[in-house]
Structure 1
Amino acid sequence: MTALSAQILEAAGRRTEGSLLAAKEFLALGKRDAVDQALRRLVSRGQLVKITRGRYALPVRSRFGTRPPAPELVMAHLMTELGEQLVSSGVAAANALGLTTQMPVQQTFLSRTRSRKRYCFGKQEISLRQAPRWQFLLSDRPAGQAIRALAWLGPDEAGAALPKLRQALPTAEWEALLTVRAELPIWLVELLNEQEAEGARG
């Protein structure tokens, strides 16, 4: 291993799981071509994982073997780097809340801005998809997940899921969901109002 590769690995090892490395960070150690070559060699040896163009991360090693860093942790670091909010998709939120057993092969995170970038984590691929502002309300709180889950289910299926969702959410999260309903689409506001009325009658 070259001294440059060793220095890159040493720097990567001081970071937390999911931290992203960029070639420009290491230009003080060598010329750009040399840095790029060192990064490619580290990837080919399995000592780094290429996440997307120009971005790398350290794989996680344990007694069970080696795996790419957790996508959620990489996305959290990416959110800081890009200075924008990223949240899990509606189907992922619905799965987390027990409203569906479906999980897509390709995981998607929602972004406020248009992006066509894809991120690779071994055999798993993650993409960013632009979504409206209201799907970012309450962020990754359970109430925020509920908003995105209902959006994914759509007007035809969300109504049937609401009773189960209300039982699954802690009272404080259900109340938080109701506090932002004025910012939600009309169809979703009407369903929430109907569910609230049924709860009051019960």
Structure 2
Amino acid sequence: MRYYLMQSVEDKIEKVIKSKQRGTLFFTNDFMTYGSAKAIQKALERLTNKGGITRVTRGIFVRPEISKYVGEVLPTAEEVAQGIAKRDKIKIVPTGVSALNKLGLSTQVPLKLVYLTDGAPREIKIGNRIIKLKRTTPKNLLAKGKTSSLVIQALREIGQQGTKEELKHRIIKLLKKETRKNLEHDLPLAPVWIRKIMQEAL
């Protein structure tokens, strides 16, 4: 009887997973209505062993995309961070080297991705990379523009002294692609010296 119940939980979970697109992230909590925490954990272990899903990190799984060249394609650490934000209904904003990298201002791929958040602070290990969620004040999460939000965080990382003329020109060029409405909204949220650079884009 116990084995049947576990099989039933596994079948239900497998059905849900197969109904989703490859590349979709799944969290253990997604299946809480199907049985006890122990039964769900066992079912996910069995599905992982069967090859239907791959464990990304503790409590997070994926039905991986398959490439004919490299086989399984697992989600990036950035995609996992976005998945966690969506699940927990929290805001996250890339900071430091991550912000510079996303803007194309640095080729350095950080092993530690630091995000500002209004959620609980924590660290999640994904392979050899770490996602760090760092709690911050609401003001730091109010920016509406995707580019302007990244620019504010990237320039904070570089600092006023490190922001040379050539870099300013590249940033202004990026900011000009931002909608005027978003840029005007985000101006007051930036420190004064960053605000001056953003104003030049207007």
TM-score calculated relative to the size of structure 2: 0.73
Give the conservation status (yes or no) of the 8 Å contact 1:110–1:129.
yes
- The 5 Å alignment of 1:1-202 reads 4-16=9-21, 17-22=23-28, 25=31, 27-28=33-34, 30-64=35-69, 65-120=71-126, 122-139=127-144, 141-158=146-163, 160=165, 161-170=167-176, 172-173=178-179, 176-185=182-191, 189-193=192-196, 196=199
Give the conservation status (yes or no) of the 8 Å contact 2:123–2:130.
no
Give the conservation status (yes or no) of the 8 Å contact 2:111–2:128.
no
Q: Percent identity?
A: 22
Gaps of 5+ in 1: none
User: Whole-Å Cα distance in 1 between the matches of residues 48 and 32 of structure 2?
Assistant: 16
User: Whole-Å Cα distance in 1 between the matches of residues 145 and 79 of structure 2?
Assistant: 14
Deviation at 1:174? 6.9
Over the residues paired in the alignment, what is the CA RMSD in angstroms?
A: 3.3
Question: Cα deviation per residue 1:2-44 (whole Å; 9 max; x = unaligned)?
Answer: 564343222112234333232562553x554332222123334
User: Whole-Å Cα distance in 2 between the matches of residues 13 and 140 of structure 1?
Assistant: 36
Give the conservation status (yes or no) of the 8 Å contact 1:87–1:110.
yes
Give the conservation status (yes or no) of the 8 Å contact 2:115–2:133.
yes
Question: Cα deviation per residue 1:64-114 (whole Å; 9 max; x = unaligned)?
Answer: 310223444433332232121112233222123232222212333331234
TM-score calculated relative to the size of structure 1: 0.73
Gaps of 5+ in 2: 1-6
**Secondary structure at 1:101's aligned position in 2?**
coil
- Number of residue pairs matched by the alignment: 193
Residues 7 and 140 of structure 1: is their aligned pair in 2 closer, same or farther, counting only changes over 3 Å? farther
Give the conservation status (yes or no) of the 8 Å contact 1:108–1:128.
yes
User: Whole-Å Cα distance in 2 between the matches of residues 195 and 35 of structure 1?
Assistant: 50
Give the conservation status (yes or no) of the 8 Å contact 1:108–1:127.
yes
